[in-house]
A and B are shown apart, each in its own frame.
Chain A
Amino acid sequence: MTAAAASSRDDRSSGRERRERPSTFALILNNRLAAAGLVVLCLIVIAALAAPILPLADPNATDPASRLAPLLSPGHLLGTDALGRDMLSRLVWGTRVSLVVGVSASLIAAIFGSAIGLVAGYAGGRTDQMLMRLIDLTMAFPYILLALAIVAILGPGLINALYAIAIVNVPFFARNIRGITVGLARREFVDAARLSGKGPLTILWSDILPNVLPTIVITLSTTVGWMILETAGLSFLGLGAQPPQADLGSMLGDGRKVMFTAPTISLVPGLMIFLIVMSINLIGDGIRDALDPRLRSGALARPAFRTKVAKGRRKADTDGEQEPLPADAGGVGLDPLPAGEGGNRYPPLPCRASPPQGGRSPSVGLSERSISPLEGEMPAGRGGFQGRDGDDVASDRNDNPVLAVRGLETDFHIGRSVYHASNGVDLTIRRGECLCLVGESGSGKSVTAMSVMGLVPSPPGVIAGGRIGFKGEDLADAPDRRIRELRGGAVSHVFQDPLATLHPLFAVGDQIVEAIRAHQPLGKRAAEAKARDLLDLVRIPNAAQRMKALPHELSGGLRQRVSIAMALANDPELIIADEPTTALDVTVQAEVLRLLDTLRRERDTAVLFITHDFGVVSEIADRVAVMYAGRIVETGETAEILTRPAHPYTRMLIDCVPVMGEPERRLDAVPGRPPAVNRLPPGCAFADRCPRVQPDCREGEIPLETKRGSLEARCLHPLGPGEALAGGADPLEARP
């Protein structure tokens, strides 16, 4: 059974992935500071625990004869205090007391605080209001005052100090935990638990608490240190440990009286407090970093302004041959020609209306640095594009691609594995043309599209090879300044979630004005007028008024129109739209698609449109490129690819979705899952899921070749025109 086969494959991969991800403990140890803190703390704790069996003097035995002995005096390694008590012994016993009190106070605070937070967060409504107002009230006092007040009521003493510190810290836990719980309580799995018949207490205990526990641990580990410090503070003031009992705070207090004659007496406990708090905080930070899922996935650093381009990236798509980039660019790239092209130096990136030559195209030089940043937006660079006959291209721009991506390789380096998210992709889009990129999620559509403007987050993303030709200029080589100028200028983006590009706190009108003025020397008035025109253009009713609206005040459809308006603000030559209508309702989607279609035709804009919906494809695309596991597996003209695809994957992708007007059609799911792009099998990446697979499919590299008509496919056994896959009738041909 296919499902079983697929799942067995899944097992193996998920098992391996689990092993690749480091464990929490390993992560903590990996953090050097945290590991150092752990060592120090362990030593201290062991000493404190072993106090009764260590050969120590009685910590409370006074000996006025040898009072204030200096460090390293015989019998008293750390000297003695004003009453002649052995400092070393007092330090070890005092540390023991301080640790016990601090840790117990933290645990008490954690338990009560978390309980309050959980109940308030889950119950919501009035219970939440009451509990949190109470918590706010206690937080309104400076905590030391509150602790003093509590001790004043309960009376001095170590246990009372412990309660005071615990009570003072309860709000801290309560607020933190409540915040998390409120978020969790609205999660669907809590609804699922309710539907499983669980009561509120069961849900809190078995569903919410386990998810809150990491936060509790983080909060605890980052506060224990402070609580020890606070306990020491109270003892220092004489409200905690009562003489003769030693804890670090009271030792410090004793030392204060003889600070000038014998500074070591206060120095020794002071140093110990420092060591404890410091080591605990280092460990706490380590734990926090290790448990925080965002940090865990390796996204520690803020992403760079643009995707890192690997030094010496591969520039030809001939099987990953290394081709060092000439360090100083006057010349033309030293591109090896693919075998069979006979040393015949062809003009650079294809510019004729013929379909792109895909993987076999002679990707000879985009002239490196033919445009200096200062020259700005020159249409086609010197020595950039040439027509087939070697004419100067500027006169013949319509035939030139706006975007010509060649052999693009974008990798993600995660841990020790390298994911080839984009694995030698060629894309060509001419003026006024719309190319749709389709494929399953994770096939690399977004990464490919984002690589164009260097929007793939780095780390972990790296452009490891290929050229990104934008009107003759290789954007992978362009300086940051040039990229900044192009982004939102000649090249603009529309994303699935318009909120990703719109700032939540500024009126949409102002944001468009800002976008305009960032790229055009316009006054505020003129820019405002232009912004209004843009909103009219995208048919936002009542544009003048909507200018003042905040993004969240608009519906999803309107918001997406605003981001389209923003994308159009600087008359882009290329719009990159990543699933711009996926989150929209059908009626709105229809509107937005029509809008984009009209606008790109009127303005002759090139569009790279990502979608997974073949209905949308036939609505808007001139040409289609189907992506699978980081590669283009088929490309061709829309009508042809939709009715008579050559690649089995394209056929299956089309057949697996229901289509309006054909309710009786059998739906054949694509069995299994795509391969992980860090362990691609040799040969065809689709082989494991392909019904037409033959032994030769799993052997060598399969090129993207012309099959018939406008279709190019990466397949050794392509489908004939209108041929169905074994097992299913060809639905399109069979339609009555």
Chain B
Amino acid sequence: MTPPSNVIEIRDLARTFGGGRTILGTKKPQLTAVRGVSLDLRKGETLGIVGESGCGKSTLARMLVGLDRPTSGAIRLDGKDLSSSGTRALARRVQYVFQDPVSSLNPRQTIRDILEAPMRHLLGLGSKERKERLEKLIEDVNLRPEFLDRYPHEFSGGQAQRIGIARALAAEPDVVVLDEPVSALDVSVQAQVLNLLDRLKRERGLTYVFISHDLAVVESVATRVAVMYFGEIVETAPARELFRAPLHPYTNLLIRSAPVPNRKRQKASGDSGELPDPYDPPPGCPFAPRCPRAEDNCRAAMPALEAKDRGKDHRAACFHPLSRR
């Protein structure tokens, strides 16, 4: 059944935190960070995931690489369900780049220690082979081999992030999940890292999941975009299409909110920017309290993510989607 072009298939993935009972028997509050996400990752694409902080982007990303276990649902890698088999099984194929480059490098290990670990523990390479690959790898990310014997604190943010990328690539993965890879970097070096990621992807035939709250960055790197709101995907579409003519009112709000140099934004209607209370989710569409197009039926039932009038690749979870401008 599986079309061969999908590297990863996510089905009804959910993650709940808290819950259960305390020693005294009272219920602990329960929060659902990711509520039933289904998504396909196609080979060779860069899937951008955008959304506000707290909408579940990072939780989804961590489940994709096995740092977190889903409460329910499946993550299929080439058709095989790996959702509950933990980090090691996934780490061979799916790797992760952290937002904060400095804190993702152990301050007491040399760059060599850090980059060798995946080769040793995941690929089981001998020391001679590791040494060869290491030198190639470090040059691939535009750093010089003598950096291998330095400690992380000796590097700038941009360099540290290149080391973080090298660590992810050391395991020779097929998919790299990048969780806000340039958000912590100075604007002047963001471009370095973005250009590097672009080259590595072409050279190694990688597939990226690129998570960011910065729409301009996502627009410039992604081939396809998924918009998350309150733990759900509310719209997916090819990147150009999505930014040109979004279907979902939330996507539209995001795009209109992004500041653009030299363009005074048209005043948006007083949006509070508040997410619903995750401990007490409203019935129906979670965007309804902020949505200018909301009608009664929005508050009654949750709209499904489905194709509207823009072809099967452009899907949105909304009862009253925007029309093409």
Contact = CB atoms under 8 A, between A and B. Distances in A.
Contact of B171 (A197, A441, A642): A197
Interface in A197-253: 197-198, 202, 206-207, 210-211
B171 to A, nearest CB: 7
B274 A590 contact: no
Counting chain B residues whose Cβ lies within 8 A of the other chain, the interface size class is 35 or more
Interface of B: 52-54, 65, 67, 87-88, 91-92, 95-96, 98, 100, 103-109, 113-114, 117-118, 120-122, 142-144, 146-147, 150, 154-156, 159, 164, 167-168, 170-171, 186-192, 194-195, 213-217, 219-220, 239-240, 243, 253-265, 267-268, 270-275
A206 B256 CA distance: 48
Nearest to B239: A663
Given A195-B95, A660-B243, 9 more contacts: A195-B65, A211-B106, A591-B271, A612-B186, A619-B265, A656-B191, A658-B220, A660-B258, A732-B262
Contacts of A665: 220
Which 10 A-B residue pairs are closest in the complex by CB-CB distance?
Answer: A615-B259, A197-B121, A669-B191, A196-B117, A667-B191, A588-B273, A197-B122, A658-B220, A210-B108, A188-B104
A383 interface: no
B191 A657 contact: yes
A557 B273 CA distance: 7
B144 A7 contact: yes
A457 to B, nearest CB: 21
Given A196-B122, A663-B239, A658 B260 contact: no
A589 B257 contact: yes
A589 B233 CA distance: 22
A731 to B, nearest CB: 10
Given A195-B91, A658-B216, A615 B258 contact: yes
B154 A591 contact: no
27 contacts: A3-B142, A4-B144, A10-B159, A194-B67, A197-B122, A202-B121, A210-B109, A440-B186, A440-B187, A539-B270, A585-B52, A585-B273, A586-B52, A586-B254, A588-B52, A591-B270, A614-B261, A616-B259, A643-B262, A656-B187, A658-B217, A658-B219, A660-B216, A661-B243, A661-B260, A662-B220, A669-B189
Nearest to A583: B53
Nearest to B122: A197
A590 B215 CA distance: 13
A715 interface: no
B188 to A, nearest CB: 4
A192 B274 contact: no
B216 A193 contact: no
A589 B187 contact: no
A669 B185 CA distance: 12
B272 A667 contact: no
A196 B121 contact: yes
B287 to A, nearest CB: 11
Contacts of B274: 541, 555, 557-558
B264 A590 contact: no
Interface of A: 1, 3-4, 7-8, 10-11, 14, 18, 187-189, 191-198, 202, 206-207, 210-211, 440-441, 539, 541, 555-558, 585-591, 593-594, 612-619, 639, 642-643, 652-654, 656-663, 665, 667-670, 673, 732
Residue from A188, A614, A653 having most chain B Cβ neighbours under 10 A: A188
A109 B21 CA distance: 36
A663 B220 contact: yes
Given A3-B192, A585-B52, A586-B254, A618 B260 contact: yes
Contacts of B107: 189, 211
Contacts of B187: 440, 612-613, 653, 656-657
Residue from A18, A615, A660, A673 having most chain B Cβ neighbours under 10 A: A660
B186 A441 contact: yes
A617 B265 CA distance: 12
A618 B220 contact: no
A613 B156 CA distance: 20
Contacts of A661: 219, 243, 260
Given A192-B106, A669-B192, A587 B253 contact: yes
A10 B171 CA distance: 28
A673 B167 contact: no
Contacts of A207: 106, 109
A619 B103 contact: no
Contacts of A3: 142, 192
Contacts of B104: 188-189, 191-192
A652 B95 CA distance: 33
Given A194-B67, A615-B259, A657-B187, A587 B171 contact: no
Contacts of A14: 150, 154-155
Nearest to A643: B262
A593 B260 CA distance: 13
B259 A590 contact: yes
B257 A590 contact: yes
A657 B214 CA distance: 11
A653 B188 contact: yes
A586 B213 contact: yes
A188 B105 CA distance: 8
Nearest to B106: A189
